[in-house]
Copies of this chain bind each other. A is one copy, B any other.
Amino acid sequence: MSLNNFFNPKSVAVVGASNSPEKLGRQILDNIIKGGFKGAIYPINFKEKTIAKLKAYPTLESLPKPVRSSLLVVISIPSACVIPEIQKCAVLGIKNIIIITAGFKESGEAGKALEAEIKDLATQHHLNILGPNCLGLINTWHKLNATFAAADTETGNCAMLSQSGAIGAGALDWLKVKDFNFGYFISLGNKAVLDENAIIEYLAADKKIDLIIAYLEEVADGDKFMSIVSRLAKLKPVAVLKAGTSAAGGKLAMSHTGSLAGSAAAVKAGVERAGAIWLDNLEDMFNLMMIFDKKSWFNTGSPELHVITNAGGVAVLTADEISRQGLPLGKSQDLLGDADATRYELALASCLADKKVNNLLVLLTPQTSTEPLKTAQAIINIKKKYPNKLIMTSFVGGEAVAAPRQLLSENKIATFDYPEEAVRAFRHLISYRSLVKDLRTFKRSENKGKKAVKDGDYLKSLSLLKSYGFAVAKTFAYDAAKIQSYNYPVVLKTVGPDFLHKTDTGGVVVNLQDAVQLQTMAETLARKNASLLRNPGNYLVVQEQAAKFHEIILGFKRDAIFGPLLMVGWGGIYTEVMKDYKVAISDIDMAGAMKLISGLKIFPILNGARGQKKFDVAALAGALVKLGQLANDHPEISELDINPLFVFEKGVAAGDIRVILG
């Protein structure tokens, strides 16, 4: 359903409007009036005749009929009374609703049940509902502030979605002292009906919006998010700040310890797959707002960051940070400590006249001849001549730089207290370009015809790999009658549910040179594990031993939100110790797989560093793509590891497998 009337209602009704100024319903009404909303405003209150000088209506039913289809209803009444109001809306044909009221999913079982009712009503009657438990909606382009937060009324080209009311409130308060404005502010609340995906999809087509920033506590639907954002990201940047990634390091342990692909890793991989900018923290979020301007971000010229300064030391520290962030450093021009505004002006003019200069950071510290305010004005003037070039500033100091910083900010020139902040903000421009370069629209391709895997049997699992075109090291169930037919040396393994960590449990014997050695060892293992081997899932297998390979681990773990998360890393005993692995969403292609693999620390060795032999990286990438397809086709597999995957000079082969269902 279109959100057009939701974002741009012709009239607004506030259920719970009141003559008590401390009531949220009244504060919302006041904000709607103060914001200058041009349509009709209807306070709904059973008792009052007028509220805030407006005629009050006793119920939604009593409103004039024609407004209903383009009416937005904001509900701020006790949670127990909310459902009947929604039902009324449904009956009356009112489609667009904001539920401010808290006391739903976040407050226990009873609230959860109420919220489920809201969802049901929305589905039945095609209702657009924002919230519950939210701050509301602001559309500055429509002069609509339907929140209980005081907010600036100026329009802007940034839309902010916030799943936290508190962070939303902080951001709105922050805007008041910054010369930055939102086009839309959407407080998502509990996301019972409208979630970030629905909102972003609407914003995609909205020409007034050039930048979308979302603070999320969880992603509602990973596939939908990746599909919507990967379509949109090339046209307008989407940036995500996700709370709760702190266990990232810890959780992102190895697959076979059961903790890989914790959702922190998955959400980061998913956001990257979508082509969205990953924000590290609040500072990062606000700084991105400061630095974004559409024209310079879509200027696809040289990416170097150039520097003009009156303080050599500050420029050196800036270069340190540019280098630390791995960003392209341009020229650094030191105008010396006695540079006045004229010297800055000349330097700016000649620097920006250079076609290769697209990104410039102007540094200044207040020294004896420095003219901070005049210099700020010079920067503002020249920016007008070069709207497609990014100009950032950092005037380092306090008293002497306060007014010039203010002037720059008022004129939409990004200004930062410290040059390092500017550099970190600039990082997002560079990473955005790299994210959307060759960005494919996400689509999960599932081959629905595949027969579901029934158990994690070792040999069957190897066969499953083969059916996807994987080479597999020759492996047979141990059979004393056939021991003469194997190509020696061989490896003997005990496999099955009780032997998932074979190396640790001594369930693997390598380098068996002939049939006699094999038989002796097979008998020893059979004796040692006699009781476990009574379970037919556990048995002995013989594998012909590979030579001249590199050991890689390949696997996936299914994430509840983003689906199978692929993992490739350095295998063998190094997997855990070196933490050398990368993860990706399962719809990976060859180019993506090559890029992922080339990010491994071990990559130079695979690729033949220092005169060593070169391993078949392309075959490894191919295996990753195949594994992604397998993962998509078999939703019944929750986890799969190939460890080791032997990577040879030509080709690869799976050396071991572990499959977990459920």
* Residues 299-329 of chain A, each 1 if its beta carbon lies under 8 Å from chain B, else 0: 0000000000011111011011111100000
A314's partner among B166, B250, B337, B576 (CB-CB below 8 A) is: B166
Residues of the B chain whose Cβ atoms lie less than 8 Å from the Cβ of A604 = 576-577
* Residues 275-312 of chain A, each 1 if its beta carbon lies under 8 Å from chain B, else 0: 00000111100100000000000000000000000111
Contact B397 A173 (CB under 8 A): yes
Residues of the B chain whose Cβ atoms lie less than 8 Å from the Cβ of A400 = 173
Check A421 for interface membership: any CB of B closer than 8 A.
yes
Report A63 CB to chain B, min CB distance, Å. Answer: 28
User: Given that A317-B281, A610-B503 are known contacts, is A397 also in contact with B165, CB under 8 Å in the complex?
Assistant: no
Check A399 for interface membership: any CB of B closer than 8 A.
yes
Check A243 for interface membership: any CB of B closer than 8 A.
yes
User: Looking at chain A's contact residues, is the secondary structure mostly helix, strand, loop, or mixed?
Assistant: helix
Complex alpha-carbon distance, A421 and B311, angstroms: 25
Report A154 CB to chain B, min CB distance, Å. Answer: 14
A148's partner among B283, B321, B368 (CB-CB below 8 A) is: B368
User: Given that A323-B249, A605-B577 are known contacts, is A243 also in contact with B174, CB under 8 Å in the complex?
Assistant: no
Report A250 CB to chain B, min CB distance, Å. Answer: 8
Contact B577 A165 (CB under 8 A): no
User: Given that A243-B317, A316-B217, A316-B243 are known contacts, is A169 also in contact with B601, CB under 8 Å in the complex?
Assistant: no
In the complex formed, the residue of B with least CB distance to A416 is B283
* Residues 395-418 of chain A, each 1 if its beta carbon lies under 8 Å from chain B, else 0: 011111110000000000000011
Contact B368 A167 (CB under 8 A): no
User: Given that A310-B166, A366-B170 are known contacts, is A399 also in contact with B176, CB under 8 Å in the complex?
Assistant: yes
User: Given that A174-B396, A175-B398, A601-B578 are known contacts, is A367 also in contact with B243, CB under 8 Å in the complex?
Assistant: no
Residues of the B chain whose Cβ atoms lie less than 8 Å from the Cβ of A169 = 365-367, 397
Contact A166 B420 (CB under 8 A): no
Check A116 for interface membership: any CB of B closer than 8 A.
no
Residues of the B chain whose Cβ atoms lie less than 8 Å from the Cβ of A217 = 313, 316
Complex alpha-carbon distance, A604 and B575, angstroms: 12
Report A474 CB to chain B, min CB distance, Å. Answer: 27
Complex alpha-carbon distance, A290 and B658, angstroms: 53
Check A246 for interface membership: any CB of B closer than 8 A.
yes
A313's partner among B243, B317, B321 (CB-CB below 8 A) is: B243
Check A244 for interface membership: any CB of B closer than 8 A.
yes
Check A215 for interface membership: any CB of B closer than 8 A.
yes
Complex alpha-carbon distance, A215 and B280, angstroms: 28
Check A178 for interface membership: any CB of B closer than 8 A.
yes
Complex alpha-carbon distance, A2 and B453, angstroms: 83
Check A109 for interface membership: any CB of B closer than 8 A.
no
Among A148, A178, A280, A574, the most chain B Cβ lie within 10 Å of the Cβ of A574
Residues of the B chain whose Cβ atoms lie less than 8 Å from the Cβ of A366 = 169-170, 173
Check A354 for interface membership: any CB of B closer than 8 A.
no
User: Given that A282-B420, A317-B243 are known contacts, is A170 also in contact with B312, CB under 8 Å in the complex?
Assistant: no
Check A84 for interface membership: any CB of B closer than 8 A.
no
Report A119 CB to chain B, min CB distance, Å. Answer: 23
Check A24 for interface membership: any CB of B closer than 8 A.
yes
Contact A402 B177 (CB under 8 A): yes
User: Given that A169-B366, A323-B249, A398-B174 are known contacts, is A316 also in contact with B244, CB under 8 Å in the complex?
Assistant: yes
Contact A337 B174 (CB under 8 A): no
In the complex formed, the residue of B with least CB distance to A370 is B169
Contact B401 A281 (CB under 8 A): no
In the complex formed, the residue of B with least CB distance to A178 is B398
Complex alpha-carbon distance, A313 and B399, angstroms: 34
Check A153 for interface membership: any CB of B closer than 8 A.
no
User: Given that A215-B313, A314-B282, A420-B281 are known contacts, is A166 also in contact with B337, CB under 8 Å in the complex?
Assistant: yes
Check A353 for interface membership: any CB of B closer than 8 A.
no
Check A602 for interface membership: any CB of B closer than 8 A.
yes
* Residues 495-519 of chain A, each 1 if its beta carbon lies under 8 Å from chain B, else 0: 0000000011000000000000000
A399's partner among B177, B320, B401, B578 (CB-CB below 8 A) is: B177
Residues of the B chain whose Cβ atoms lie less than 8 Å from the Cβ of A87 = none
Contact A170 B246 (CB under 8 A): no
Contact B573 A605 (CB under 8 A): yes
Check A245 for interface membership: any CB of B closer than 8 A.
yes
Query: In chain A, residues 351-367, which have Cβ atoms closer than 8 Å to a Cβ of chain B?
Result: 365-367
Residues of the B chain whose Cβ atoms lie less than 8 Å from the Cβ of A421 = 283
Residues of the B chain whose Cβ atoms lie less than 8 Å from the Cβ of A317 = 241, 243, 281-282
Contact A313 B167 (CB under 8 A): yes
Among A170, A365, A367, A611, the most chain B Cβ lie within 10 Å of the Cβ of A170
Among A241, A283, A503, the most chain B Cβ lie within 10 Å of the Cβ of A283
Contact B283 A417 (CB under 8 A): yes
Residues of the B chain whose Cβ atoms lie less than 8 Å from the Cβ of A622 = none
* Residues 337-380 of chain A, each 1 if its beta carbon lies under 8 Å from chain B, else 0: 10000000000000000000000000001111000000000000
Contact A401 B283 (CB under 8 A): no
Complex alpha-carbon distance, A418 and B366, angstroms: 26
Contact A320 B244 (CB under 8 A): yes
Check A70 for interface membership: any CB of B closer than 8 A.
no
Check A485 for interface membership: any CB of B closer than 8 A.
no
Among A366, A503, A612, the most chain B Cβ lie within 10 Å of the Cβ of A366
Among A322, A401, A578, A605, the most chain B Cβ lie within 10 Å of the Cβ of A578
Contact A420 B283 (CB under 8 A): yes
Contact B320 A246 (CB under 8 A): yes
Query: In chain A, residues 250-265, which have Cβ atoms closer than 8 Å to a Cβ of chain B?
Result: 250
Binding site for B on A (CB under 8 A): 24, 27, 148, 163-167, 169-170, 173-178, 215, 217, 241, 243-250, 280-283, 286, 310-314, 316-317, 319-324, 337, 365-368, 396-402, 417-421, 503-504, 573-574, 576-578, 601-602, 604-605, 609-612
Sample of 14 A–B contacts (CB below 8 Å): A165-B337, A165-B367, A166-B312, A169-B366, A170-B366, A173-B397, A173-B400, A174-B396, A246-B319, A248-B324, A281-B418, A503-B610, A576-B604, A578-B601
In the A-B complex, list the 7 residue pairs whose CB atoms are closest, starting with the nearest.
Answer: A166-B311, A164-B313, A173-B397, A177-B398, A246-B323, A170-B365, A246-B320
